[in-house]
Structure 1
């Protein structure tokens, strides 16, 4: 076995996810990957600090007004200074909010670009294990949770800390005894809030997982709504959706219970502190220990401590949600991806594709292909025939390099195809499947899909004619600019197939892979599509999964697969004479064709 084979995967991502600690370092690392403007964050937080610092001096100004207030003592400069302070505070606060929001949007955009790129470059094996809706939820919901922490809660956290520390320092200078009475409530509150925060994290993480599952269900059902309706499955799908909705409802109620406990608890603490401070402060004023102005200032500073406590609670609650979202995003971003440009370029020569003792299994399970050994001759048609589940489609996937075989090798021009860069190798292949999926957009966009060079109208019309597609396209009101709808549902099956063939012609591939593109069509459409396929196959190395006898009879070589092994190779006449299963297949097809006739 070659060194290339020794490092091959088992057909799925076998690397175990790296354990991720639930801490702020992971969160910060993820933020850095989004590459937002940290200069903007610094300015925004600086403006928030200015707002907070200005607010710290207002109670002191109020204290002086209360203690020595007369109309004569009120200087003009004091009024001007107070007005300027409020204006500066308002402007700085507004700018800070705007810049933090922009910083948050940069994070949101950066994370979504990272995840979107990662999802596009992950190998096909990853999608065998993950539901599409769950991945969509990572890109939409989880990124938004992280953004909210930064743009809506971080400023409150930073300024809240400064406000609390600054207020306590000033209060200690005003009256250290009353300040100590105030600080007794802090550890008591934390003893209750910290366990609740952990519980909130667990609920939030479960809720995000359930949201991803619900999104997956919606994506699956709505994308196949025609199947749902044709099967009268609306009540069944409603019940499935209702179960997901009720799970989210129950988790939301549990979250609400904790919030309902935290909210009144904070209110009770605030009210008790206010009563204690006003009562105790009144006694201190009456015995002359402090002035009335100092008591007013003390109450104002108490408010500047209490208000940020709510912001801190909200920040830590939201941070727990963001850490849960961060874990899943970091897990996806840590997955190994396909490297498009690593390897040599496929030489510009025609060559056979050779499979040497190829063995493959999914997830280390039962072998799907066993010691497959045959050659696909250059410029010839090779048909793969066999019962369902014999490994024909898996063989296509190996040649496309969606997976790597555990044993053996596939070569082109005497080089293992794994030594070629993915982009270079896949550009040699034209693939037309039974479904011929189209993307939402115009006919032109679908025909030129994946091609970076400009395609002229003349080229487009030329390949459309070869694919027998120009006739129906020219009859459409918008011609090549006609919208095909989601998955091409505005077009018939035969029309979609012909557009897929035109797309393959535009790529001008040297290797054709056809998953019997006519098997799902009516006889009229089949004849037209078959003519288009004949144009496509001329002079190309072709590998076709055959379900119709007409395709098999015309093939230069037939490979019969059964339970993952090759049980016969030859022409139609040779296999009819020597291979019992193939002979049965041919007889069944003849009976089917006679019935159609």
Structure 2
């Protein structure tokens, strides 16, 4: 019942259509059952008249049967059109809703769940839900209606046969529920393994150069093969149980069907049934048991869809850990930043401990410290990917939690250490914040940002310039080119706050030199607050203030000259050349 509630909630916008489909199905099944009923009455008429009927009667009978078949055909095709139209619209709604929800979830969700697993969750969850709705509208709903109506008609025609028919349902239902319970764990394991296999494919393909560079193709093949073998073994065990159960149900139903046929013949002999009524009962019983078989198959399909749909429902119901304020403040920020006694932990691992500092609007601040000291976490809190567990992050005196999230992020920009570049045209990468505007509209702004980032020259070396298509994750570009594109993208909308997380790490000397020039341009820009996590002395020296982090604490703060004179941690870092020149 809980699963039915989840599905009903997912289909919330389509409840009225489902009610209408149910109404159409009721009419269709009523018309369909009219045929066997009329056929039984015709047999009784033939027996009563010893086969002698008038031409007029024959015409009326044939017209009645033909009319029933035509009406049934029209309703059937109308129902098919309505249901297919409903399924297509439902699929679009569910897939776009799930995709939107996944994008809207906070960064912590995306950092925990591998990409392949998320893709499987979206695709398989949506596909299985549509399959489920398909089975419900085309099969389950009419089958249940037929079972109910045939059961009533069987009872009305002959109580004895009705009782036998009812008794036959009990073991069928018990066996069906038993197989569902006994295979539930197997289904859960199989779906979990499917998600893991998708995740492994995504991980391997995105790191294929590493796999080949270390000649680990066989290792990855073996790992994936073992996972697929596990899926195969679990599937075979589940299939074995299903086949045995299906065989048991079929034998049981056949026995009851023969028993009903024998009882029916005895009832005719005792004049408790007419020949026409017996034929009608046999037709109803065949249809009823056919529907019971069908219901068993449908139940298997529904149980197959349960795990992916459950996971999809959990995704739709998930709440972002970072949400917009109920009464957000819309403000055009200047860029002053304050951290007031900020503490933060990932799960139970403390990363920041009572960190406090102020960054004046338009200034240039550098964050330095060893790996794991909390520098990147400060950048993530400032972007509001996370909220601190204690303390406040203030922007122009406003609590960051109170600012409208979309408005705030549109006034900030982030350049990551590993700059992701989507598979698009170069101008679309740079103008990403502007939406899907054509090149003619954004070209001046794109070129201006590219020149500031020292990217214009290499872009113009391509035959198509800014219209050049970039391969997946920018594989046609070098690391330095990708990084300069990322900087240009961050400068496109002239952000009030720019956050750069080690923008020159892992680059060759020429690329690093060009990015350093871009940073020099930015350091002169006084209308933009710049927070840069840096490991290059040449970058840090130009900062208006330097924040030194160690083990999650802010241990020193000042200019380069001030901190060197203190002979503290920063001075030691410089002396030990941990800040490269």
TM-score of the pair, normalised by structure 1: 0.87
Aligned residues: 568
Change (3 A) 1:351 1:400: closer
Aligned to 1:456: 442
Give distance in 1, aligned partners of 2:520 and 2:61.
Answer: 92
1:344 to 321, 326, 329: 329
Q: Kindly indicate whether residue 151 of structure 2 is the aligned counterpart of residue 168 of structure 1.
A: yes
Contact 2:431 2:442 in 1 (8 A): no
Aligned to 1:356: 340
1:116-135 correspondence runs (5 A): 116-135=99-118
Aligned to 2:9: 29
Query: How far apart are 1:393 and its partner, in Å?
Result: 0.7
1:559 to 537, 544, 547: 547
Contact 1:22 1:327 in 2 (8 A): no
Change (3 A) 1:171 1:228: same
Query: How far apart are 1:286 and its partner, in Å?
Result: 4.6
SS of 1:456 mapped into structure 2: helix
Highest RCO, 1 vs 2 (Cα 8 Å, sep ≥ 6): 1
Contact 1:193 1:262 in 2 (8 A): yes
Give distance in 2, aligned partners of 1:356 and 1:504.
Answer: 27
1:158 to 125, 129, 141: 141
SS of 2:463 mapped into structure 1: coil
Aligned to 2:513: 527
Query: How far apart are 1:260 and its partner, in Å?
Result: 0.6
1:41-190 correspondence runs (5 A): 41-69=18-46, 70=51, 72-73=53-54, 75-190=58-173
2:316 to 309, 320, 333: 333
Change (3 A) 1:90 1:223: farther
Give distance in 1, aligned partners of 2:81 and 2:461.
Answer: 53
SS of 2:231 mapped into structure 1: helix
Give distance in 2, aligned partners of 1:116 and 1:31.
Answer: 16
Contact 1:389 1:563 in 2 (8 A): yes
SS of 1:402 mapped into structure 2: coil
1:235-314 correspondence runs (5 A): 235-286=218-269, 288-314=271-297
Q: How well do the aligned residues superpose, as a CA RMSD in angstroms?
A: 2.6
Contact 1:48 1:155 in 2 (8 A): no
Give distance in 2, aligned partners of 1:189 and 1:453.
Answer: 58
Contact 1:22 1:323 in 2 (8 A): no
Query: How far apart are 1:394 and its partner, in Å?
Result: 0.9
Aligned to 2:531: 543
Change (3 A) 1:490 1:295: same
Give distance in 1, aligned partners of 2:160 and 2:449.
Answer: 89
Query: How far apart are 1:246 and its partner, in Å?
Result: 2.3
Give distance in 1, aligned partners of 2:273 and 2:336.
Answer: 97
Query: How far apart are 1:270 and its partner, in Å?
Result: 3.6
Change (3 A) 1:427 1:68: closer
Structure 2 residue runs of 5 or longer lacking an equivalent are none
1:415 to 395, 398, 403: 398
Change (3 A) 1:508 1:87: same
Contact 2:367 2:375 in 1 (8 A): yes
SS of 2:432 mapped into structure 1: coil
Change (3 A) 1:178 1:513: closer
Change (3 A) 1:568 1:43: closer
Aligned to 1:425: 408
Query: How far apart are 1:357 and its partner, in Å?
Result: 2.5
Give distance in 1, aligned partners of 2:497 and 2:189.
Answer: 47
Residue range with higher mean Cα deviation, 116-125 or 165-174: 165-174
Contact 1:440 1:485 in 2 (8 A): yes
SS of 1:215 mapped into structure 2: helix
Residue range with higher mean Cα deviation, 390-399 or 139-148: 139-148
Contact 2:21 2:137 in 1 (8 A): no
SS of 1:75 mapped into structure 2: helix
Deviation string, structure 1 residues 359-410 (Cα, Å, up to 9, x no partner): 22222x2421222222223333221111111111111111111122223322
Query: How far apart are 1:443 and its partner, in Å?
Result: 1.0
Give distance in 1, aligned partners of 2:286 and 2:425.
Answer: 61
